[in-house]
Amino acid sequence: MKPGIHPDYHPVVFRDRSTGEDFLTRSTVSSERTVEWTDGRTYPLVLVDISSGSHPYWTGRQRVLDSAGQVEKFRRRYGRRAQG
């Protein structure tokens, strides 16, 4: 690699906000927050909203969100189809 043109690539701990799960990986992202890892070293901590530990696709738990009543709105507009 050419020196001086690449961003700093270093170990970082990512924490899923919804599950609290932590994982250590390498990244170019930086953070003011730090956390002590199991090896005794301190690493930058980056909080993420969703990861493989909380994503419905990977966990197998699908959530149906209908906060705006979209299903009822659809049924009022188009009605229910008759079975048969």
Query: Domain residue spans in the chain?
Result: 1-55
What is the arithmetic mean of pLDDT over 12-16? 94
Entry pTM: 0.63
* Residue 57 confidence (pLDDT): 67
In the predicted model, what is the mean pLDDT of the chain?
Answer: 83
The string of pLDDT tens digits covering residues 48-72 is 888 877 766 666 666 656 566 777 7
The string of pLDDT tens digits covering residues 30-42 is 999 999 999 999 9
What is the arithmetic mean of pLDDT over 5-33? 92
* Token pair recorded at residue 5: 């043109």
Tell me the C-alpha to C-alpha distance, in Å, between residue 24 and each of 28, 52, 82: 13, 14, 54
d(CA 75, CA 49): 33
Measured at the alpha carbon of residue 8, what is the angle toward residues 7 and 13, in degrees to the nearest 5?
125
